Amino acid sequence: MARETGLIRRGILWLLLLGPFFFLSYGMANTYTAGREDIGSLVFAWERQMPLWPWTIIPYWSIDLLYGLSFLLPRSRSEMDRHALALLTAQLICVASFLFWPLRFTFERPELSGLFGWLFDVLMGFDKPYNQAPSLHIALLVIIWTMFARHTQHPAWRWVVHGWMGLIGLSVLTTWQHHFIDVPTGALAGFVCLWLWPHSGPLPWRQARLAQDPKRWRLALRYGLGTAVLTLLAMKLGGGGLWLLWPALSLLLVALNYALFGAAGFQKGADGRLSVAATWLLAPYLLCAWVNSRLWTWRHPQADEVADGVYLGRVPGRTEASAFAAIVDLSAELPCPAMTTLETPQDYQSLPTLDLIAPDREILQKAAKAIEHHHQQGPVLVCCALGYSRSASAVAAWLLLSGHCTSASQAEALIRQARPGVVLHPAHRLVLHNLEAQP
């Protein structure tokens, strides 16, 4: 992608806005919190063994330089603006947390000399031990790290980027600037910002619409109940039990996708991958969804040919995907490794739809068109998580619109003959009958 003109000036303007805002908001929050008497702390016993490595003040400070350099990387105004807005949003989230949920760092750092000691002195002249969770340092690191990783193509340099960014993340602990709880909460804040401001594609919150389908609301309530149960368990158990807040958040985002954001909330791209933010925020759910798909299909993992080289099956692994010339994928929640096995990106078509919800007429028409286009070039896999509902309705739509079948019931019978476990609910049949009735 060619770089748009005027981006350096745009980046400088953003820095002129974000720089003063960073120091003013961070400093004022620190000063205000320092005068309060209701400041607690959250420290795990094992943190007493955390070493103090003075030299890690170098990577700790380096994020300031990388913050500025990150504005040289965007290739478009949209990417530049979304990067800046993600950084701004992280600042707002973290500073608000410092004010409403103040925590204090409790370790006393010994006096240090030399260059490292001077760097610590400069830091403590501005930074007091009250701006803790979520760590703004970590939140900004997540956003900056993602930007650098996206624009670093050479494998050796990618290792350098990941290694140095990882060292920055470690340094918040080894400089005795943060307790452990600040790190995962800071990462969470960073990924939320990246989810709100993806580097490309539609903004999820702009597409938010209250679901009209009662089934979507029922599923949203179930996932919301799971969120509540896990949250209560985490609060009751404390300690390591707080990790249950991760799957709780994951289920909350799934619930919001069913109630508001739709399939777009999973942020599955044209390459079959979920965004970095969605992958991390949804990781516990994604793991369960993948295991569930394999458990349901372990007795019948292979795809089944329905007609003329069109196969119906589950989201494939890399080995399975290599057997097909093209893939039409209707799963929103599972990544598909197709781009590493197909000859060209055009041989993969992603049409994300929510699990257990019938695809709408427009999605089925697009799927049918893609199947018709690709099956003439070789075997085509039409897939979803299990290969039993969403993908089956897509194949049925193709059978109808291509003239292979004259009715929705005939298409369903042909699919069941090839793959007996297919499950088409009344909602699926209604959409197919609407397609059948179109002129």
Enumerate the active-site residues: 384
Q: How many CB atoms lie within 10 A of CB 248?
A: 19
Residues whose CB falls within 8 Å of the CB of residue 101, separated by 6 or more in sequence, listed in order: 133
- Region of 176 (left: φ > 0; alpha: ψ -120 to 50; beta: rest) is left
What residue type is 170 in one-letter code? L
Alpha-helical runs (H) found in 197-282: 214-237, 245-256, 276-281
- Measuring CA to CA, which residue among 232, 434, 422 is closest to residue 313? 422
| Phi and psi, residue 208, nearest 5° | -65, 125
**What are the Cα distances from residue 260, in Å, to 208, 256, 284, 434?**
5, 5, 21, 25
Q: Taking Cα atoms as reference points, which of 254, 249, 269 lies closest to residue 216?
A: 254
- Taking alpha carbons only, the member of 251, 219, 220, 218 closest to residue 233 is 251
Query: Can you tell me the distance from the alpha carbon of 247 to that of 252, in angstroms, rounded to the nearest whole number?
Result: 8
Q: Give the count of beta carbons closer than 10 Å to the beta carbon of residue 234.
A: 19
